[in-house]
Chain A
Amino acid sequence: MLANRRLFNTVSFKLALLCALQFLIVLCVLMTINYVVTQRALEEQLQSRVHDDFLDVTQLAKEQDQDSINREISERISEPFFNGVYFFASDSTGQKVAGNLDEVERKNGWQTLSLDADPSAPSEAVPIRGEGQIFPDQSFVFVGKDARQLIMTERTLIFSYLGSALIAGFLALTAGFLLSRGLVRKIDDISTTSQAIIDGNLTKRIPVNGTNDEIDRLSVNLNRLFQNNQKLLDSLKQVTVAIAHDLRTPLTRVRNTLEKLRHQPRLSHTHKSQLDAALSESEQLLQTFGALMRIAQIEAGTRRQGFTRFNLSNMGLRIFAIYQAVAEDAGKILEAEITPEVFCEGDPDLLLQLCVNLVENAIKHTPSGTTIRLKVVAPCQLEVSDDGPGIPDTELGRVTERFYRLDRSRSAPGNGLGLALVAAIAQIHEADFRLSDNEPGLRARLIFSQSAGSMSG
């Protein structure tokens, strides 16, 4: 239903409709011309036959008298092959003298009358088309013919034309419909692929069917664009990870030397505290590098083999038990709403870290008095929400980028990798991770795909 409505909304369908309409208009004009010409020809044919009879009868009138006309008429009526010819003759007073019609209007030229009383078909009036003439002696003669044939033919023509117009219109619409559906499908492919790429599935490509038409060429070019995009992003990631990797060893040495110095005897108090500060800074750096490499490793997807079926509800309860006190000490309220016995397919260690990250983010980045809610819902859904200040809509999509930090939390401790790690963990679980407005506050929701859910039964 929705697909149909979408179809009606496409440019191609509208074009198809317009073409069909134009085609129908042209068809109607042609048919009208055809009809008029045919109708004329048929009428002329009828009139000429009537006229022949009329001439026959009036010729007599010129040569002979009125009586012989009357006689002629009577003879013709009584002929065994009476062929639907109708006559009427009246004298100068208007009195009928001969003929098989009861009454005809006295006038020169063509007229159409309708004969009501036809014994064969009493319900239907017989149309008669005929020619009348008033003679100098005021007598009147009318010769007419049954025009049913003519009208029937006209009707048949109209019906057949209407029928053809209907069929042609239907065919034109169907052709347009099919044409546009094919086109819509191809454009839809492009649209869904782009959406998937926007959602982070960078490896997705538009299917190409090899027809080398405009759409196919567009798809090929877009695929190339996506390929380049992916390459650039990959190399960016590789560079970051490579830098972290290469700097780790010298930094470790620095850290170890600092530790060794710290344990030297006879250090002054100032030296000790300075060395402690340097040690903690170097450890912070190493942790950032570690987090970066951890994300890269998770994204590489080698962890999938560690997937098991585990109880998500228990994990939620465990985190709630640990963090209720932590939240309380920070002046916040942690609430849990956990459906029992929700099972999940995944890496329990990574998902524990994911959930801890979300809860800790909510504790760290909200003012005191905030209520934080941890939810586990069947089938396989995890949610952490708060009623704090939330994240502006424009930044919702960016906070999962590495090192991205909101202005207001730049001064707070942290490396801006927490949500990037969450996103990476969600990605290898093929789970949908979404941040949204909790009105007020922030809602982080992780929905595992149905396939993972059904595996867990």
Chain B
Amino acid sequence: MNILVVEDDRSTMEHICSGLSDKGHTVAAATDGEAGLGLTMSEVFDVIVMDRMLPHMDGVCLLKTIRKAGNRTPVIFLTAIDGLDDRVEGLDAGADDYLVKPFAIVELLSRMNALVRRSASTELRTKLRHGTIEMDLLKREVRREGKLVELHPQEFKLLEYLMRNEGRPVTKSMLLEHVWGFNFDPKTTVVETHLSRLRAKIDLDFKKPLIKTHRGLGYSLVS
């Protein structure tokens, strides 16, 4: 992927850039808003990662300018740990996702992957399919190899999010945000509890487990 990173803190910039290039991505870097804007106008990126606080032109302003120019490139907004309002401001300005600094590179990668997929297939679907799993979003029904699996609404939502991301791993915080709307870290095993219940039901009559755990990264559906 061709990624633009706009970040003024050298240490964070270095961390992101090396992490992304290690995974084989092409990274362009800008250390202030104006430079970032210039790059978006001369080059096409798959994803833009930008900080909230930037010299010359701050993140919100940069994002608004880009969107006004008709640029729909997915944007991940980086906010400080105490930037409570930054998240809302960023999403309002047109960001597709946000991350609180500091974050793990795998978290950023997972989110970027999810975003790029999402922007590629934005059509409304009433049925989701992954391998032998079928999900009917209207009837709220799930079938594995044609066999109906009864799921609790919480488990249904969880499986839906995993299916929308197909085989790509999703992190714990992505699940918390997108399935349960938690913008904070709960102190109990919310994700693990619902995931283990989902597994118990969906794997009940089948030998092959459907959901894979990636240590230190997250979960994904097995294809």
Contact = CB atoms under 8 A, between A and B. Distances in A.
B84 A326 contact: no
B85 A259 contact: no
A413 B193 contact: no
B188 A325 contact: no
B183 to A, nearest CB: 6
Contact of B186 (A289, A293, A318, A356): A356
Nearest to B101: A252
A290 B152 CA distance: 34
A326 B85 contact: no
A286 B101 CA distance: 10
Contacts of B184: 353, 356
A321 B153 contact: yes
Given A252-B102, A255-B102, A322 B81 contact: no
Interface stretch (B10-18, B48-56, B116-124): B10-18
Contacts of A414: 187
A364 interface: yes
A250 B15 CA distance: 13
Contact of B82 (A287, A294, A322, A418): A294
A276 B184 CA distance: 22
A214 interface: no
Interface in A90-124: none
Contacts of B9: 249
Nearest to B102: A252
B85 A253 contact: no
Contacts of B153: 321
Q: Which size bracket describes the interface of B in this complex?
A: 35 or more
A256 interface: yes
B174 to A, nearest CB: 16
B11 A253 contact: yes
A330 B190 CA distance: 11
Contacts of A286: 81, 102
Contacts of B19: 259-260, 263
B15 A260 contact: yes
A326 B193 contact: yes
B154 interface: yes
6 closest A-B pairs (Cβ-Cβ)?
A293-B82, A290-B81, A256-B15, A252-B102, A326-B193, A360-B188
19 contacts: A252-B12, A252-B102, A255-B102, A256-B11, A260-B19, A276-B216, A286-B81, A293-B82, A322-B180, A323-B188, A325-B193, A325-B197, A353-B184, A357-B187, A360-B188, A363-B188, A364-B188, A413-B187, A414-B187
Given A260-B15, A286-B102, 9 more contacts: A252-B11, A260-B18, A263-B22, A276-B216, A302-B84, A321-B154, A322-B154, A349-B183, A414-B187
